[in-house]
Structure 1
Amino acid sequence: MSKFVLSEINIYPIKSLGGIRLEKAQLEEKGLQYDRRWMLVDEEGIFITQRKHFELALLQVNISDGKLTVSHKTSPEQSISFSLDEDTGEQISVVIWNDTATALEVNKSVNDWFSDFLKFKVKLVKMPLTEKRLVDRDYALNEEVVSFADGYPCLIIGQSSLDGLNEKLTEPIFMDRFRPNFVFTGGEPHVEDNFQNFQIGEVLFSAVKPCARCVLITIDQQTGEKGQEPLRTLAGYRTVGKKIMFGQNLLHQHTGIISVGDELRVIDWKGKN
C-alpha cells in the first residue's frame, strides 16, 4: 500500500484571487485559517468570481504583519493593504450560489481600488466570526459550517491525479488551476476518489463529495488567459452524470495544526467496511 504524504497546503483568503502556499496551517471550524474569509460582491451583494472575470487571476494575495496585501502579478506597484481586523461595521447580505450570508464591508478605499481594477462597482466584504453558513445538508455530517468557499471547508487532490492529466495534455498545467487546499503524494491517479475517512496529523477528515469542475480551470493563473484545456480533456475520462469531477470535497471533525510532510492515513475506504 502506498504511503500518502501531504505535499502542499494552500489558502485563498479572498475568494477567486491568487492563493498562498503554506508550510503549516491552523484548521478552524470553517476551514483553514484565513481561507475564503473575504469576497468581492457586486452592488446587489452577489459574489464575484473568475468564472466571469478572468482578470482576477492576476491579483495575488499575501498576509504579513497582521495585514492583507493584494497586488497585481505583472504590475506589483498596483497594490493595496488593509488590516486583517478591519471592517466598517456595516453588515451586508451577500449571495454565494444558493446561500445567503451576512458579511461586513472592509472599507471604502478598498472598494474603490477593486472597482477601478474591474471597471465596475464592487465591495470587498469579510465573514464575521459569528456567521454560521451551513454546508449542504445532503452531505453534512454534523451541521458543519463553511466560509465563502463554494460549498465545503476543504478540497484535496492527489499529485498523481494532476500528473496523470498532464500526460494527456499537449501543454502541462499547474495544480493552481484546481485551487485545492491540500495536495498529497502517493498512490494512483484519483486514489482520493476512494477515501472515506482519513487523518492528516491528528485531524480527522471525511471525503463527502467529488468536486465538479467548471470553466475556472481553463484560466491560466499566471496570465489570466482562458483556453479550452484541461476541461476538454477531462471531459473524456472524468465525466460522471454530466459533471466533470476532479478532487474531493472534505468535512473535518476537529481543529488543529496541519503541516506539509504530515502522513495522510486512510481509516476507511469507500465501498469497504
Structure 2
Amino acid sequence: MINRVSVELIQNLMSSRQDGCEGDQLPDTQNVIRRFRANLVIAGVEPFEEDNWSHLIIGNTRFMVAGRCGRCQMVGIDQDTGTKTKEPLLSLSAHRAGKVTFGVYLTHGAPEGSPATSVLSVGSLIQPEPNSN
C-alpha cells in the first residue's frame, strides 16, 4: 500500500532536483504511482504517515502492517515505456534516511465475528491504528 500524498511529496522533490530524469519531462502522479506497483493506493493526510501504523481497516476489512517496502532501482523504470531513469529513487534516497523504503506491506486479518466477505472499494473509509511504541 502506498499513500498518494507521499507520492506527491516525492514528485515535488523530483521537480526541485530536475537532474535525475532524462529531458525536461517529469512523470505525472499516475506514472509515479505505477512505478511503485502498489496493490492499494490510499489518500492519506500526511506523507509517510502509514509508516507509523500497526493496523488499519479499509471499509470492513482489517489489515496488519507487516513492514515497510524496501525499494531499489526498479522504481526508475517507466511502466508504460520501459525507459530507465534515476528518479524517483534518487529523490527518495535523499529524503529518507537509512534503507530506502516507500509504502508498507499489509496482511489481511479477519477478526472473529467479522463478515465472511471482505469488500474493498474506491472511496472506502480508512481507519488507521498507530504503533504503540
TM-score range (shorter-chain normalised) is: 0.7 to 0.9
Aligned counterparts of 2:8 and 2:132: Cα–Cα separation in 1: 26
Question: Match for 1:256 among 109, 118, 124?
Answer: 118
Note the 1:132-171 alignment, pairs <5 A.
156-170=1-15, 171=26
CA distance in 2, matches of 1:233, 1:199: 30
Asked whether the 8 Å contact 1:211–1:245 carries over to 2, the reply is: yes
Query: 1:230 is matched with which residue: 59, 63, 88?
Result: 88
DSSP-derived class of the 2:37 partner: coil
RMSD over aligned Cα, in angstroms? 1.4
Give 1:215's aligned residue: 73
2:97, 2:82 → 1: CA distance?
26
- Could you list the structure 1 runs, at least 4 aligned residues long, displaced by more than 2 angstroms after superposition: none
Alignment of 1:56-67 (within 5 A): none
Q: Give the SS at the match of 2:78.
A: coil
Give the aligned partner of residue 20 of structure 2: none
Q: TM-score, normalised by structure 2?
A: 0.79
1:195 aligns with: 53
Contact 1:160 1:189 in 2 (8 A): yes
Q: Secondary structure at the match of 2:119?
A: strand
Name the SS for the 1:169 alignment partner: helix
Larger radius of gyration: 1
Gaps of 5+ in 1: 1-155
The number of residue pairs the alignment matches comes to 114
Whether the 8 Å contact between 1:208 and 1:251 is mirrored in structure 2 is yes
SS across alignment from 1:168: helix
CA contact (8 A) 1:239 1:245 kept: no
Structure 1 residue 239 displacement after superposition: 3.5
Tell which has more relative contact order, 1 or 2 (C-alpha 8 A, sep 6+): 2
Equivalences for 1:1-273 in 2 at 5 Å? 156-170=1-15, 171-173=26-28, 174=31, 175-240=33-98, 243-254=99-110, 256-266=118-128, 268-272=129-133
Equivalent pair of 1:197/1:207 in contact (CA under 8 Å): yes
More strand by share: 1
Residue in 1 that maps onto 2:114: none
Contact 1:218/1:229 (<8 A) preserved: yes
